[in-house]
Copies of this chain bind each other. A is one copy, B any other.
């Protein structure tokens, strides 16, 4: 819990930026949230706890958390970007159900290995990657139509 804060602090210091109150609140809430959240959902989550942080500040903080290696913009659903924290969270891929919107997370060590091999072959330095598949989950396949 304090680990993330330290990483963020160090990152900010390295960029001559400061760990302000809003930034602290945002970091805390990002790590309290174990979903794939939108900025708006995060905004509501923070507001419910009476902390006052503006949407603009949240939008401005997302790239900082991403650069610090703590956050990932993991998918896009219904015209909205969704994020998830990644510190201490194994890399995974997403199966997204077109019918009910459920997101299934799946480990992918194998995939990662193959990806790394390909990157080596093409001399491409991967910073981050995303793999998502859309379709129908088990339950939704059963439903008629």
Contact of A114 among B110, B134, B138 (CB under 8 A): B110
Bound together, the chains give a CA A129 to CA B75 distance in angstroms of: 12
Q: Which of A31-39, A82-90, A117-125 contacts B (4 or more CB under 8 A)?
A: A117-125
Residue contacts A-B, CB under 8 angstroms, 19 given? A93-B115, A95-B119, A104-B122, A110-B114, A111-B114, A115-B133, A119-B135, A122-B138, A124-B133, A124-B137, A126-B133, A126-B134, A127-B133, A127-B136, A128-B133, A129-B131, A129-B132, A130-B130, A130-B132
Give the secondary structure class of A's interface. Answer: strand
Bound together, the chains give a CA A97 to CA B119 distance in angstroms of: 12
* Contact across chains for A131 and B130 when beta carbons are under 8 A apart: yes
Q: How far is the CB of A145 from chain B (nearest CB, A)?
A: 14
Q: How far is the CB of A117 from chain B (nearest CB, A)?
A: 9
Q: How far is the CB of A141 from chain B (nearest CB, A)?
A: 6
